[in-house]
A and B are shown apart, each in its own frame.
Chain A
Amino acid sequence: MAMENPATSQIPVAGGAATLGSVAKNSESLSATRKKPLEIALFWIFALCAAVTVFTTFGIIAVLVTESAPFFREVSLARFFGEKEWAPLFNPPHYGIFSLVCGTFLVAAGAAMFSLPMGLLAAIYLSEYASPRARNIMKPVLELLAGVPTVVYGYFALLFITPLLQNVLESMTPTLQRVTGNPNLFPTIEVFNALSASIAIAIMTLPLVASLCEDSLRVVPRALREGAYALGATKMEVSLKVVVPAALSGIMASFILAVSRAVGETMIVALAAGASPKITLNPLESIQTMTGYIVQVSMGDVPHGSIGYQTIFAVGLVLFCITVMMNLASISLVKKYRHKYD
């Protein structure tokens, strides 16, 4: 609107005597004189805004490294990575990070087992099968599911999923006893267990996987699908043998990102997974993840500056490294994929 006036007044000037060359020259000198202080100041203000994100990353690294340095002076890396137990507040203390890492990946792998295939199937439906109308209904629902805060999923895992699992396991016990031939088999599920946290995280990451996979599937050129149909392939064959392989790097990127999200998830595991760090593959037991440990210590009354308190920075550093590696892998896969069909 505001542009209309100067626009009409300038047209005769530009369209008048000037040749193409002199217009270009003119605008050059114009832009040179027009570089007002405001323009320059704004450039630097915006650059500073962008730099805030860089400072954030460096800030995180600096804090984690400097705050965990006293811890690593006390506890050797060999102990940190070698010991099998994690009990920094006990006497004698144990500092084996592996049992926290193991708990973290038990939960994350359990979540991935549900969320990755289901997310991909949902993405295939949305991208290959759904009518525009169905898509317009389904996608918002997935987005709403993605908007549920993690503390709500934690509540849900503890008070809905765990009791449900207990009921299911109870009703399955006779069958299990018959199948295994062991009448004394009573599988139990603890109140805090890795499985219900896994399921809640799976529900949480499902929309992420579905929407990122769908984005990758939709980029696959239509010609590939048409070619496969022309060769007589069914819709499933087109989806699974043409579209999915063509979008594989994008799909992988979304899978890695989902696992990274599961590794970093905090409130669900803090509420539902328990607080007993151990090396186990049994999802029915109580475990502890890296994030769960950090929350437990920061809520407790461990004195600042003690080695017990410094552990949270050491654990945070490990957590940060793991997730950054995953994120970077995912980012580079996405980049590779973007170049493929550009």
Chain B
Amino acid sequence: MATAPAPLPDSPSPVPPKYQPLASSSAHLRRRKLASTLFYLLCFSVTLLSFFLLAWIMSGIFKQGIPYLNQQFLTSFPSRFAEQAGIKSALYGSVYVLCVTAVFAIPVGIGAAIFLQEYAGDNRFARFVQVNIANLAGVPSIVYGILGLALFVRALGFERSVLSGGLTLGLLVLPIIIIATQEALRGVPNSLRHGSYALGASKWQTIRRQVLPIAMPGILTGIILSISRAMGETAPLIMMGALTYVAFVPRGLRDGFTTLPIQVFNWTSRPQVEFQAIAAAGIIVLMTVLLSLNALAIFLRYRSNSRL
């Protein structure tokens, strides 16, 4: 559609413009300029639409959920009665799972990125790994759920536990961390590495003392974005059978759990209006955390962009 070369805004006659009388040619020009202005307005309003969509979503959810959002909601377990239900177990579950995810995915992701960017060079294996990571970034999250179900829950015998959920989400966000870290490492000028080598530093000394500190804002941005992605992810956890009714706080890695998005999904899919309203309250909590995380990441990125 818009990608194909669009026809000239106006071509009234087969006579080339330069043979036309001056008045008509200036009318032609005016029409082209008008079309250009209209096109600008179109592009602008489409972009502006994203503002309104965000505002529409947020205001709608706030209107629904705010009446239910109180201290009791944050400190109670889920219940059959909407007015007594809360998100205590979901909050704890989310935090536990995210801790496992972070502990697994952050070091592995940064390590993989360092390998690809600093060690591997441009050989066939590195290129294969690179394409593989780009592809993994686009694999549907539910497929990771299938992997987690077969690998962690069954084959390794972790059951439907915090550990399984955290590791599954860890695999899911690994490509995000790797891609962001690689980008950050790529942004470090080679002259710094050469300077460090010239002073006798080893490869690891160079990476640890010169490259990583400079790449840190970019890496941090990637980590924050990946944690917020993991926090909002529902499908893989449902897939591997995270419980939806959990009236306890997980005590260890082997305990069952529920998370905030699962709780929201569970409440949303019920027909009763009250449960849909407390789903909105749950979304407000979820979105508050997520949007602050994302805003922090965006802020970090813009600050480091403007500094370089």
Tell whether A121 is near chain B: CB-to-CB under 8 Å.
yes
Shortest distance from the beta carbon of A336 to any chain B beta carbon, whole Å: 13
CB-based contact A319/B111 at 8 Å: no
Tell whether A165 is near chain B: CB-to-CB under 8 Å.
no
What mask results when residues 34 to 65 of chain B are scored 1 for a CB within 8 Å of chain A, else 0? 01100110111011011101101100110010
CB-based contact B290/A147 at 8 Å: yes
CB-based contact B112/A53 at 8 Å: yes
- Closest B residue, CB atoms, query A31: B202
- Give chain A's interface secondary structure class: helix
Q: How far is the CA of A210 from the CA of B234 in the complex (A)?
A: 25
Tell whether B268 is near chain A: CB-to-CB under 8 Å.
yes
CB-based contact B234/A267 at 8 Å: yes
Tell whether A77 is near chain B: CB-to-CB under 8 Å.
no
Given contacts A10-B199, A45-B111, A236-B39, contact A265 B140 (CB under 8 A): yes
Tell whether B216 is near chain A: CB-to-CB under 8 Å.
no
CB-based contact A155/B268 at 8 Å: yes
Q: How far is the CA of A147 from the CA of B295 in the complex (A)?
A: 10
What mask results when residues 302 to 325 of chain A are scored 1 for a CB within 8 Å of chain B, else 0? 000000000011001001100110
What mask results when residues 251 to 264 of chain A are scored 1 for a CB within 8 Å of chain B, else 0? 11000010011011
Q: How far is the CA of A83 from the CA of B154 in the complex (A)?
A: 32
Question: How many of chain A's residues have a CB under 8 angstroms from any CB in B?
Answer: 105
Residue of A124, A210, A266 with most chain B CB atoms under a 10 A cut-off: A266
CB-based contact B268/A158 at 8 Å: yes
What mask results when residues 42 to 58 of chain A are scored 1 for a CB within 8 Å of chain B, else 0? 11011111111110110
- Closest A residue, CB atoms, query B43: A125
CB-based contact B119/A34 at 8 Å: no
Contacts of B235 in A (CB 8 A): 150, 266-267, 270, 291, 295
Of the candidates A116, A143, A203, A299, the one whose C-beta lies within 8 Å of that of B238 is A299
CB-based contact B264/A151 at 8 Å: yes
Q: Name which of A133-141, A178-186, A220-228, A277-285 contacts chain B.
A: A133-141
CB-based contact A152/B283 at 8 Å: yes
Q: How far is the CA of A187 from the CA of B228 in the complex (A)?
A: 41
Tell whether A328 is near chain B: CB-to-CB under 8 Å.
yes
Q: How far is the CA of A118 from the CA of B42 in the complex (A)?
A: 10
- Give chain B's interface secondary structure class: helix
Given contacts A121-B46, A236-B9, A323-B140, contact A155 B112 (CB under 8 A): no
Given contacts A125-B47, A151-B234, contact A6 B108 (CB under 8 A): no
Given contacts A155-B279, A236-B40, contact A122 B264 (CB under 8 A): no
Q: Name which of B66-74, B79-87, B127-135 contacts chain A.
A: B127-135
- Closest A residue, CB atoms, query B299: A140
CB-based contact B50/A142 at 8 Å: yes
CB-based contact A38/B5 at 8 Å: no
- Closest B residue, CB atoms, query A11: B199
Given contacts A129-B40, A149-B261, A291-B235, contact A50 B302 (CB under 8 A): no
Tell whether A97 is near chain B: CB-to-CB under 8 Å.
no
Tell whether B23 is near chain A: CB-to-CB under 8 Å.
no
Tell whether A25 is near chain B: CB-to-CB under 8 Å.
no
